Amino acid sequence: IDFANNTTVSVSRHWTVRVISVGAVFSMNMLFVSAFSPGVLLYLYNGPTVNMYQEWSVPTGYFFAIFSSFGFVADVISRKRIYTKKPSNHPLRYLLLTLVGVAIIVTQIPVIAPLGTFFVFFANGSIYAQSCRYLDSHLHSDVSVLGNSLFFFLGDCGSVLGAVLIPFIRDVMAANASTN
């Protein structure tokens, strides 16, 4: 950064807009990841077993092992697949996939919940990889560390907000489940 010529001031509008545009998407994504995958499900499925379908139940630990495995596989696949490509679109499009996954999770049908987390984490890995690739190619080295720090700070804000919202989401989902 050339402080004598105020290079940062003239460039700041460009890099901050770029970082905030992908950082806001990352923040929303992290809110949903934190709140729903597994987030609130840890409080909804907290008995000794989870009733998967009719009379078929599995121990809760096994349910969450399967659930988390789907998320892990989706995240790994998407990061590898997306980062190797040059970003062509804004990562905002992957939030739709996140919303589909959350909708599946919110149905509270345990047998399809792993599919929901697969969508949430596929979107998570895609948003992360495409945003990082975008920032790598669009931020000047003078502001790269600052830009990436802002990006991750925005993601952390979303994650913390998602964690704070878990009790409220739990109450709404529990009330909805008892009326059905």
Neighbours of 80 (CB within 10 A): 11
Nearest to 27 by CA among 125, 157, 135, 128: 157
Our CA angle for 48, 61, 174, nearest 5°, is: 60
Q: What share of the chain is helix, strand, coil (3-state, %, to 5)?
A: 75, 5, 20
Residues 134 and 26 sit within 8 Å (Cβ to Cβ): no
Q: Using the Cα atoms of residue 127, residue 133, residue 139 and residue 145 in order, give the sign of their dihedral.
A: positive
pLDDT of residue 30: 97
pLDDT of residue 137: 81
Cα–Cα distance for residue pair 99/122, rounded to 1 Å: 12
| Per-residue model confidence as pLDDT tens for the chain (180 residues) | 444 444 544 455 678 888 999 999 999 999 999 999 999 999 888 999 999 888 899 999 999 999 999 999 999 999 988 878 776 678 889 999 999 999 999 999 999 999 999 999 999 999 999 998 888 888 888 888 999 999 999 999 999 999 999 999 999 988 877 665
Cα-based torsion angle of the residue sequence 18, 21, 26, 29 in order, rounded to the nearest 10 degrees: -160
**Single pTM value for the model:** 0.85
pLDDT of residue 116: 96
Give the SS3 label for residue 49.
Answer: strand
pLDDT of residue 23: 95
Cα–Cα distance for residue pair 129/87, rounded to 1 Å: 9
pLDDT of residue 74: 96
pLDDT of residue 86: 72
pLDDT of residue 111: 94
pLDDT of residue 180: 58
Q: H or E stretch including 54?
A: none
pLDDT of residue 160: 97
Phi then psi dihedrals of residue 59, to 5 deg: -55, 145
45: β partners: none
The letter for the amino acid at 157 is C
